[in-house]
Amino acid sequence: MDSAAIKRAKDHFGKMLEDQVTRIERLAETPHWIDYSTLHPLRIGILAGDGIGPFIAAESKRVLEHVFERELNSGGIVIRDIGGLTIENRAARGKTIPDDVLAEIKKYHVTLKGPTYTPRKGDPWPNLESCNVAMRKELDLFANVRPVRIPSQGIDWTFFRENTEDLYALGPYGYQLGPDIAIDFRIISAPGTDRISRLAFDYAKKNGRTRVTCVTKANIIKTTDGLFLENFYRVAREYPEIQADDWYIDIMTAKLVDQKRRAEFQVLVLPNLYGDILTDEAAEFQGGVGTAGSANIGKESAMFEAIHGSAPRMVEEGRAQYADPSSMIRAASMLMGHVGYPDRARRLDMALDICGQYEKKIAINGRPTGASGREFTDYVMDWLNNPALEDTWKRYVG
Ligand code: IPM
Ligand code: MG
């Protein structure tokens, strides 16, 4: 390896480090939490995305409009579509989030986002950064909150996945040193770990949860996971009434399938990539990634999304209208809870549970032999309007 190549790699690393130091220094100055109850109107943007996105986004929007009918009529809430986040537009503009789209997004207090295709090496598209990841970084949506609940099995987990650091933060800035050597970088900061841990403990405290568990691989990834764990326990000391413990990611992955132990976990805090992986596994127990919602929370704004991808194959095969909108409707429910309507969110969750897990009068299987997304959404809305909703849900849950 010639020394000029090594020098270029060092320069690359140096620049990246400077950018990250700037980012982390800014964390200390981040503003206070926005108070949604003072906004008039509260502006909700819908980002349809691509693939099956526009299909499930339309259904989720229908649910939101139904639930917020009163506020929409009185002008207390505004719901609008934000276009331009399709892979075609992103590719044509050569930008993960084109500038005009980002400017538009920033006009909204919260957004509900459909899946967006993420290109990878070898695709016909330019190898753009993931839209989700870019939005999380641009809007500093540092907490990815993912609940997984299976009431009949006593499972009630809430994952707090750190959303702006770790391997994800530097995913587009890896370095290829000649044909044979590739390096990626991982970053964890104390302020970054502090704020995600604090949010998890605050959530536990507010919601009567008694245990918060941190997941790392600090015995092997000593520096970054070591810092994460150390700061998690530092925050934990401020919440003496809540039990704090930690597990390694490998055994935690195993414990989630251990029927005797898994219901004991309550609130989990993880660095970005472990959180990405573990939440897909967890969602699978609940009925698949199609059933789980995800909240990307920052102090000044928040974005709610389905946890799955854009399923371009379903569109190619003409099956997009059979895509399951549950995950995005679940995200809509999280949005409702976040902006100050927890009771309506709870009712929507109950309707989704009844339709997707218990009664299952009609079911979606992604094909014309099952229900369409629209039919399923009508089914959910029928339950929302049903006065017997809560009693029925309680009966099912037992
Ligand atoms: C998720 C998704 C995203 C991620 C992808 C689509 C970039 O898997 O939200 O979990 O990796 O974070
Ligand atoms: Mg994921």
For ligand 1, atom 12, the nearest C-alpha belongs to 276
For ligand 1, atom 6, the nearest C-alpha belongs to 309
Alpha helices (runs of H) in 68-165, residue ranges in sequence order: 69-74, 87-93, 99-105, 131-138
Distance 111 CA to ligand 2 centre (A): 19
- From 117, 127, 130, 278, the mutation candidate for ligand 1 (largest count of ligand atoms within 8 A of CB) is 130
Strands annotated E in the chain: 42-47, 77-82, 110-113, 143-150, 155-162, 175-177, 181-183, 211-216, 243-248, 267-270, 293-297, 302-306
Question: DSSP secondary structure string, 316-341?
Answer: HTT-GGGS--HHHHHHHHHHHHHTT-
Residues in contact with ligand 1 by the CB-under-6-Å rule are 118, 130, 132-133, 276, 294, 307, 309
DSSP, collapsed to helix, strand or coil, labels residue 76 as coil
Distance 298 CA to ligand 2 centre (A): 19
Phi-psi bin for 378: left (phi > 0), alpha (psi -120 to 50), beta? alpha
pLDDT in tens, the chain (398 residues): 789 999 999 999 999 999 999 999 988 787 789 999 999 999 999 999 999 999 999 999 999 999 999 999 999 999 999 999 999 999 999 999 999 999 999 999 999 999 999 988 888 889 898 999 899 999 999 999 999 988 889 999 999 999 999 999 998 899 999 999 999 999 999 999 999 999 999 999 999 999 999 999 999 999 999 999 999 999 999 999 999 999 999 999 999 999 999 999 999 999 999 999 999 999 999 888 778 889 999 999 999 998 788 999 999 999 999 999 999 999 999 999 999 999 999 999 999 999 998 999 999 999 999 999 999 999 999 999 999 999 999 999 87
Q: Which two tokens stand for residue 335?
A: 């949005």
Strand partners, 268: 159, 213
pTM: 0.92
Atom of ligand 1 nearest to the CA of 279: 10
Q: From the DSSP assignment, how many helices (H) and strands (E) are in the chain? A: 16, 12
DSSP, collapsed to helix, strand or coil, labels residue 257 as coil
Classify residue 14 by burial, with Cβ atoms within 10 Å: 0-12, 13-18, 19+. exposed
Strand partners, 48: none
